[in-house]
Structure 1
Amino acid sequence: MTEQDIERGRKNAIISYLTIIGVIIAFYLNKEDDKKSDFASFHIRQSLGLWLTFWALGYPIGSFDNWMISIGFYVFFAVLFIYGFTGALGRKAQEVPLVGAFYQKLFKNLDN
């Protein structure tokens, strides 16, 4: 990724971490651009994977009715979201720990 690509896609990368709606908005904004940003696509894949995993695991985790498990779950995802968000702010394309590589493989066809 070039510096020009990073600067062009930085706004969309940041938007993608805000909410699941932010992922959808960033995806379409990146798709609209005459030159799609690989940097934005990278962070859109990361944040989409995080949000989908958060929502898929949130309901089963919540059914445990144990505050320690719920707090651990929220802290775990907060750390991952903050890691990804600060990467987007800092113009870095580094994968989220533990699951980032999986998300990149899973959503590799997303930006076609």
Structure 2
Amino acid sequence: MTNNTINEGKTYAFVAYLTLIGTLIAFFMNQEKRNEFTSFHIRQSLGLWLMYMILGYVVGGFDSWMVTMSFWIFFSVLFIFGIIGAITGKYNEVPILGSFFQNIFKNIGQ
């Protein structure tokens, strides 16, 4: 991977983490000129957003501030980790779930 490829993909890699709509925007913008760095972060962010929604639905059923705050802190840390990786130009997999997301969404960006 060249530095030029990483520099070209940083913007869309960052956008992918902002919202689920940002992930979709980055995905479609990456279709024209495929960038491996952007595709890596799109897979990470898509996995995070989907997991966030699924677990958020389950956590919403609990009536406990402790569970809710733990959920928010956990996902905030994962998103911040991904954003920092996108901005600094690194292929940092999200802890715990990153390799799982890369395997499940391996067809994205190919």
Question: Quick check: TM above 0.5?
Answer: yes
Question: Aligned residues, how many?
Answer: 110
> How far off its partner does 1:2 sit?
1.2
Partner in structure 1 of residue 26 of structure 2 = 26
* Long gaps (5+) in structure 2: none
Higher relative contact order (CA 8 A, sep 6+): 2
- Separation in 2, partners of 1:95, 1:2: 19
TM-score, with normalisation over the residues of structure 2? 0.97
Instruction: Determine helix, strand or coil for the equivalent of 1:65.
Output: coil
Partner in structure 1 of residue 88 of structure 2 = 90
Calculate percent identity across the aligned residue pairs: 51
Partner in structure 2 of residue 39 of structure 1 = 37
Aligned residue among 102, 105, 108 for 1:104: 102
RMSD of Structure 2 on Structure 1 (CA) = 0.7
TM-score, with normalisation over the residues of structure 1? 0.96
Q: Which runs of 4+ in 1 moved over 2 A?
A: none
Instruction: Determine helix, strand or coil for the equivalent of 1:17.
Output: helix
- Separation in 2, partners of 1:68, 1:6: 39
* Long gaps (5+) in structure 1: none
